[in-house]
Amino acid sequence: MPKPKLDLVHCFVPASAPRPANTLLLLHGGDEDEQTPIPLGQSLAPGAALLSPRGPVLEGDKPRFYRRHADRSGDVGDLKAHTHALADFVRAAAATYDLDPARIVVVGFSNGANLAVSLLWLRPETVAAAVLFRPIMPLELERRPDLRGMPVLVAAGTRDRVVAPEEPARLARALAAAGADVVTHWQDAEHPIGPEEISVAREWLLRSRLRRH
């Protein structure tokens, strides 16, 4: 049977840990590309497989995961379309690279974190846990998903000038209302991810029990 087509440009690093190994689905920020989060993934989960797609939308010459309007607000219709496309890509990648679909953890930063949130809302079966660095609530829920047993780490910066503090707080409440096991970590930091947060996220991943689908 032919392998499914992988429609997104991406970087893949095979697992070096013995099976069953986790896979980190790495979703980069708005001024980054698929290579940028690889060191982050290696720090968060040494030995895990790493799957890092490039955002398919260009804003200037920078790849993003969904379009924005002129006022810089997200295009919700475009976000939803790219969310479903990402879920289909992950399913195809799992078949192509022989990944365990029940051991995929999404790790997103900024624009990538927002896509990860949309993935939890619209296609939660795609992942077993989520690490969200500097997320917002990118879309309002028409129907609350069932996220019972889903571990989610929301990592926010107290001095972030890009994401207002009420955004990750509101998101954490919505995730908890959907049944997710949410931990919110506030760091004395601006928008970039610092080494202390990486350590916190690594320890959280080691302690977390992945959701069973």
The residues carrying an active-site annotation are 110, 160, 191
Q: Which residue has the tokens 């990402």?
A: 86
Strand boundaries in the chain, DSSP class E: 10-13, 23-27, 49-53, 57-59, 62-64, 104-109, 129-133, 151-157, 181-187
Distance between CA atoms of residues 212 and 191, nearest Å:
32
As given in the structure block, the two tokens for residue 16 are 């070096």
60: left (phi over 0), alpha (psi -120 to 50) or beta: left
Q: Which residue has the tokens 């993003």?
A: 64
